[in-house]
Amino acid sequence: MHRRDFLKQTATLAAGVATFPAFAASTSPNSKVRVAVMGCNARGMNHISGYNALEDAEVVYVCDVDRRAIDKGIAAVEKAGKPRPKGTEDIRKVLEDKNVDAISIAAPDHWHAPATIMSCAAGKHVYVEKPGSHNAHEAELMVQAARKHKRFVQMGNQRRSWPWMIESIKAVHDGEIGDVYFARGWYTNKRETIGRGKPAPVPEWLNYDLWQGPAPERPYMDNIIHYNWHWFWNWGTGELGNNGVHALDIARWGLKVNLPKRITCGGGRYFFQDDWETPDTILASFDYGTKGIAWEGQSCAPRGFENSGFGVNFYGSNGTIVTTNNEALIYDKANKLIRQISGKKKGELFGYDTVHFRNFLDAIKNGTPLRSEIEDGQRSTMLCHLGNIALRSGHTINFDQANNKIVGDPEAVKLWSRQYRPGWEPKF
């Protein structure tokens, strides 16, 4: 699959199921899917909980460069009454095990694409957390790997599987607010300063060499691991790739669009002066000609919009649909509430992940279409990459939608890919 072919398939069906080449189920419908979880801190524990809740899934491996996290992951599996899984620091050891059917990746962003590509080549199906890739070129490579090796690869933008979100997008597609031309998303939080890091000895529990993996080597600093890597370009994609991808995916899904023709993005590190490289305040816009998307991120200012720290509004000729993490509200043109779509209760956010893992297992066992198949998922991630490129280059990006490339901007094109540590370059 070449760049010009990357985005030729249909965007999505009304139910949120991406179209892609059908693969045969690779396990018996009555068998258990044997899963290895890569990354067992924070988000990875939600992966383990999600699979533990499914009777036909078994976590047989936990993999983490933090030995403490391996112990934590094993304990979580055993606490659920499941057989004790194996533990290892090195994902390559897991890929050698023919008893593993699927890899579930919750490692940092710079590991997403390399681990996915390696897993596909090893014959494993993949569930990979958002954003799924660290840069635009990796987004292309992941799709190529899934196609070449005929693997099911699900991206972790789990809202695609939430029943009430599916109903909300159906309302958009069914014309309940008329012709929809614009979507606005947002995310807010109250993140504190990360300070100024100092060189420090690598902790005895951490395999820092494997943590860096494919990323260019940097000395160990005391304010990066485990979460603050998100705010450094060497490893992360900033708040746009961290949380913006969820809103942009919903917006793109609702508007039935792929990639834009013009991208603008501005912002900066305004709240604190520290080592944080990516913006804590950011506003990105994506122009499709007849439709548009905007996304605003406030990492250090918790007050959001519509009484929610996360959401996407759709604006149509006859009204507005407001979607948040818990519900959707449909207003007419006079701003009168005409319908409410109730979702989960507050505090239940991660409990709804299991339906997305369920869809992943159903694909592996029965050939069920994935709700966030990697090609469609990476279309949404590409908005994040293009927004970051516009931000870092300091000007508007013009994009050739037909050929999937930046137009007339050699400096911006340099940010399409990245350098890798020798021997870690993604390849087939």
Give dist(CA 426, CA 428) in Å, integer: 7
Instruction: Say yes or no: 140 and 101 in one domain.
Output: yes
87 and 21, same domain (yes or no):
yes
272 in the same domain as 138: no
- Quick one: 94 and 176 in the same domain? no
Q: What percent of the chain has pLDDT over 90?
A: 88
Residue 36's region, left for phi above 0, alpha for psi from -120 to 50, else beta, is beta
pLDDT band at residue 16 under the 50/70/90 scheme: very low
Within this chain, do residues 77 and 180 fall inside the same structural domain, yes or no? Answer: no
Q: What's the pLDDT score for residue 12?
A: 34
Report how far residue 192's alpha carbon sits from residue 183's, in angstroms, rounded to the nearest whole number.
Answer: 29
pLDDT for 377 equals 98
Q: Show the domain range for 406.
A: 162-193+228-348+381-415
Asked whether residue 211 is domain-assigned, the answer is no
* Model confidence band, residue 19 (pLDDT cutoffs 50, 70, 90): very low
Structural domain includes residue 220: no
Are 274 and 192 within 8 A, CB to CB?
Answer: no
Q: What average pLDDT does range 57-64 have in this prediction? A: 98
Query: What pLDDT does residue 62 have?
Result: 98
Tell me what the mean pLDDT of segment 90-106 comes to.
97
For residue 198, being part of any structural domain is answered with: no
36 and 170 together in one domain: no
Domain-located, residue 393: yes
With respect to residue 25, please indicate whether it lies within any of the assigned structural domains: yes
Q: In CATH, what number is assigned to the domain containing residue 258?
A: 3.30.360.10
Same domain, 189 and 324: yes
Positive or negative, the CA dihedral 61, 64, 70, 75 is negative
- Whether residue 127 lies inside any domain: the answer is yes
> Could you tell me the pLDDT band of residue 188, with boundaries at 50, 70 and 90?
very high
User: Can you tell me the mean pLDDT for 162-172?
Assistant: 95
Residue 17's pLDDT is 44
Q: Are residues 152 and 278 in the same domain?
A: no
What percent of the chain shows pLDDT beyond 70? 91
With 90 as the cut, is the pLDDT of residue 115 above it? yes
The band of 30, judged by pLDDT with boundaries at 50, 70 and 90, is: low
| Domain shared by 246 and 364, yes or no | no
Segment 261-307, tens digit of pLDDT: 999 999 999 999 999 999 999 999 999 999 999 999 999 999 999 99
Residue 421 counted as domain residue: no
- Predicted model pTM: 0.93
In this structure, the answer to whether residues 253 and 147 fall within a common structural domain is no
Instruction: Give the number of domains in the chain.
Output: 2
User: 242 with 368, same domain?
Assistant: no
Asked whether residue 22 is domain-assigned, the answer is: yes
pLDDT digits (tens, 9 = 90+) for 405-415: 999 999 999 99
DSSP collapsed to 3 states, the chain: CCHHHCCCCCCCCCCCCCCCCCCCCCCCCCCCEEEEEECCCCHHHHHHHHHHCCCCEEEEEEECCEHHHHHHHHHHHHHCCCCCCEEECCHHHHHCCCCCCEEEECCCHHHHHHHHHHHHHCCCEEEECCCCCCCHHHHHHHHHHHHHHCCCEEECCHHHHCHHHHHHHHHHHCCCCCCEEEEEEEEECCCCCCCCCCECCCCCCECHHHHHCCCCCCCCECCCCCCHHHHCCCCCCHHHHHHHHHHHHHHHHHHCCCCCCEEEEEEECCCCCCCCCCCCEEEEEEECCCCEEEEEEECCCCCCECCECEEEEEEECCEEEEEECCEEEEEECCCCEEEEEECCCCCCHHHHHHHHHHHHHHHHHHCCCCCCEHHHHHHHHHHHHHHHHHHHHCCCEEEECCCCEECCCHHHHHHHCCCCCCCCCCCC
Region of poorest pLDDT, from 6-10, 340-344, 354-358, 396-400: 6-10
**For position 56, which CATH number holds?**
3.40.50.720
Q: Please state, rounded to an integer, the average pLDDT across all residues of the chain.
A: 92
185 with 43, same domain: the answer is no
